[in-house]
Chain A
Amino acid sequence: MLFTRTLLKRHSVLPGFDLALGFTLLYLSFIVLLPLSAAFLKTATMTWPAFWDAVTAPRVLASYRLTFGASFAAALMNSVFGLVVAWVLVRYEFPAKRLVDALVDLPFALPTAVAGIALTALYAQNGWIGRFLPFKVSFTPLGVFVALTFIGLPFVVRTLQPVLEDLHKEVEEAAATLGASRLQTFTKVIFPIISPALLTGFALAFARALGEYGSVIFIAGNMPLVSEITPLLIITKLEQYDYTGATAIAVVMLVSAFAMLLAINGLQAWTRARQGR
Chain B
Amino acid sequence: MNDNPSTVEYAGRSPEGMRAGLGRPGARPALAPKALQSATTEPAWVKWTLIGIALAFLALFLFVPLAIVFAEAFKKGVGVYLAAITDPDALSAIKLTLIAAGISVPMNLVFGIAAAWCIAKFEFRGKNVLLTLIDLPFSVSPVISGLIYVLIFGLQGWWGEWLRDHDLKVIFAVPGIVLATVFVTFPFVARELIPLMQAQGTEQEEAARVLGANGWQIFRRITLPNVKWALLYGVILCNARAMGEFGAVSVVSGHIRGQTNTMPLHIEILYNEYQFAAAFAVASLLAGLALVTLVLKYLVERRVRAQKKSAEGRSE
Contact = CB atoms under 8 A, between A and B. Distances in A.
A3 to B, nearest CB: 13
A265 interface: yes
A32 to B, nearest CB: 6
B301 to A, nearest CB: 9
Contact of A111 (B117, B143, B237, B290): B290
Contact of B123 (A11, A39, A253): A11
B4 interface: no
Interface in B45-70: 46-47, 50-51, 53-55, 57-58, 60-66, 68-69
Interface in B92-144: 110-111, 114-115, 117-119, 121-124, 130, 132-137, 139-144
A35 B152 contact: yes
Given A14-B121, A214-B142, A118 B283 contact: yes
A36 B246 contact: no
Interface residues of A, number: 93
Nearest to A261: B139
A250 B144 contact: yes
A13 B144 contact: no
B244 A113 contact: yes
Interface in A214-266: 214, 218, 231-232, 234-235, 238, 241, 243, 246-247, 250, 253-254, 257-258, 260-261, 265
A23 interface: yes
B64 A14 contact: no
B108 to A, nearest CB: 9
Interface bin, chain B:
35 or more
B42 to A, nearest CB: 6
B268 to A, nearest CB: 6
B122 A17 contact: yes
B117 A16 contact: yes
Interface stretch (A47-55, A121-129, A194-202): A121-129
Given A14-B122, A38-B158, A104-B58, A121 B68 contact: yes
Interface string A83-115: 011011101101000101011111111111111
Interface stretch (B7-15, B33-41, B77-85): B33-41
Most buried by A among B144, B182, B289: B144
A195 B214 CA distance: 48
Contacts, number: 285
A58 to B, nearest CB: 21
B251 interface: yes
B186 interface: yes
B202 A10 contact: yes
Given A173-B36, A243-B150, A117 B271 contact: yes
A250 B119 CA distance: 31
Contact of B54 (A19, A88, A210, A260): A88
Contact of B64 (A85, A129, A250): A129
Contacts of A13: 206, 209-210
B72 interface: yes
Query: Interface of chain A, helix or strand or loop or mixed?
Result: helix
Given A21-B124, A28-B133, A261-B135, A107 B144 contact: no
A247 B149 CA distance: 12
B182 to A, nearest CB: 6
Contacts of A28: 111, 115, 130, 133-134
Contacts of B122: 11, 14, 17, 21
Contacts of B205: 14
A234 B147 contact: yes
A42 B61 contact: no
Contacts of A172: 39-40
A254 B283 contact: no
B208 to A, nearest CB: 9
Given A35-B183, A84-B50, A114-B244, A103 B133 contact: no
Given A110-B287, A172-B40, 9 more contacts: A15-B214, A35-B149, A92-B50, A111-B264, A129-B64, A173-B39, A176-B39, A214-B250, A250-B147
26 contacts: A9-B206, A15-B214, A15-B215, A20-B118, A21-B122, A31-B182, A32-B136, A32-B186, A35-B149, A39-B147, A81-B54, A85-B54, A85-B58, A91-B41, A94-B51, A106-B294, A110-B244, A118-B66, A127-B68, A176-B39, A211-B140, A211-B143, A214-B247, A250-B141, A253-B144, A260-B139
Please name the 4 residue pairs, one residue from A and one from B, whose CB atoms are nearest each other, closest first. A111-B244, A211-B141, A176-B39, A214-B246
